[in-house]
Amino acid sequence: MSIKRINDLRAQCRKQNLDGVIVTHMDHVRYLTGFTGSNGLLALTTTTSDFLTDSRYTIQARQEVAGAKVATVTSGLLDSLKSLDSLAGKNRRFGFNAEYLTVANRERLQKALAEALLTPADSLFTELGWVKDAGEIANIRKAVAISDEAFRRILPLIKPGVGENELAAEMEYQMIMLGSDKPAFETIVASGPRSAMPHGVASKRKVKNNEFITFDFGATVNGYVSDMTRTVVVGKASPRHKKIYNTVLKAQLAGIRKIRAGVMGRDVDKACRDIINKSGYGKTFGHGTGHGIGYYIHVGPRLSALSSDKLLPNNVVTVEPGIYVSGFGGVRIEDDVLVTSKGGIVLNRAEKKLLEL
């Protein structure tokens, strides 16, 4: 699979009249080569593939990297590019991903390839990994199943007096015990007024009675992630709790029904946003409705009011509208959805009705 991905990127280089591309972002490196370490670089030309790493990863790279010649270097990876015969020659055009390259590293790259013409080539990476193959979908399904089960296991522990950070630690422990490589991102556990923070990572706050608590978390299987959110009420839900929750659930289900190959991401967002707007909570829903997931947590396509992305078969996207009321609390409900020509297939099985614990 790595060889096919490298060849596809090589073909894109030809279309853009590039002699090659220097891949530095580790998520992209892993997707293209299979390397799971933290320090590696792929130098790709229209006929060659060179993978550089340091001595810590010599054995690992030889075991994992496919589709490229592996070399261990003693100086910095970018500095070592000057020693590659495959990149030698005057006025050769090499692309790089400017979005993930610092100014200092951009200068280091130019110094190493002093005779080359370097050009930002972010478009080469824009849709990298958006459309999944069967193996990728299988890994995501496994990650989703792990997160579903971890949520089920955490429910009996949600009670007044327990710390958000304790629940987050238990959630991550359960995912690891169920087979996750690692958490897909820093687990969000936000209770009471803090649940009005869309990215309220777990704090030491103790959960209290009669309030929302939101969990946003994900597992990782063979590098592929899940991303789900559930909100519950600790104790008894008030009419206000119920109205907010049921509005978000109605919006989320409408967004899922809209998903189909060929639909624009902004149209899925609109399906959710229209319902929240009509409820009177429109100003409290400030983020986009969703994003693609895959070999890292935020890939395309985007589901937002500003998105120009079109859904394609075998995209996997999140649908996660929310309402966030400052001083009171918030609700977000999120599933991972596989895009098909016939509609969206929800991969999650965890309960979505309002739970009062």
Q: What pLDDT digit, counting tens, does each position of 176-187 carry? A: 999 999 999 999
C-alpha 211/C-alpha 329 separation (Å) is 8
pLDDT at residue number 2: 78
281 and 141 within one domain: yes
Where residue 209 falls among pLDDT bands split at 50, 70, 90?
very high
Question: Taking each helix axis from N to C terminus, what angle separates 134-154 and 164-177, rounded to the nearest 10 degrees?
Answer: 130
- Mean pLDDT, residues 22-29: 96
Mean of the per-residue pLDDT values of the chain: 97
336 and 222 within one domain: yes
141 and 117 within one domain: no
Domain boundary among 110, 126, 142: 126
pLDDT at residue number 35: 96
In a domain, 321, yes or no: yes
**Of the candidates 160, 156, 169, which has an alpha carbon nearest to the alpha carbon of residue 201?**
169
Say what the alpha-carbon torsion angle 169, 173, 176, 181 is, to the nearest 10 degrees: 20
Residue 329: CB atoms within 10 A of its CB come to 25
Residues 30-49 have pLDDT tens digits of 999 999 999 999 999 999 99
Domain boundary among 126, 146, 174: 126
Query: Which residues, at least 6 apart from 25, have a Cβ–Cβ distance to it below 8 Å?
Result: 97, 100, 125
- Mean pLDDT, residues 269-291: 98
Contact between residue 169 and residue 186 where contact means Cβ atoms under 8 Å apart: no
In a domain, 157, yes or no: yes
Contact between residue 12 and residue 125 where contact means Cβ atoms under 8 Å apart: no
C-alpha 28/C-alpha 34 separation (Å) is 10
Query: Which residues, at least 6 apart from 248, have a Cβ–Cβ distance to it below 8 Å?
Result: 231, 276, 321, 322, 323, 331, 332, 333
Six-digit token pair at 268? Answer: 């899925």
111 and 203 within one domain: no
Q: Which domain holds residue 74?
A: 2-126
In a domain, 351, yes or no: no
Residues 49-73 have pLDDT tens digits of 999 999 999 999 999 999 999 999 9
CATH of the domain at 153: 3.90.230.10
C-alpha 256/C-alpha 340 separation (Å) is 12
DSSP string, 261-285: TT-BHHHHHHHHHHHHHHTT-GGG-
Which residue reads 């978390």 in tokens? 217
Judge if pTM exceeds 0.85. yes
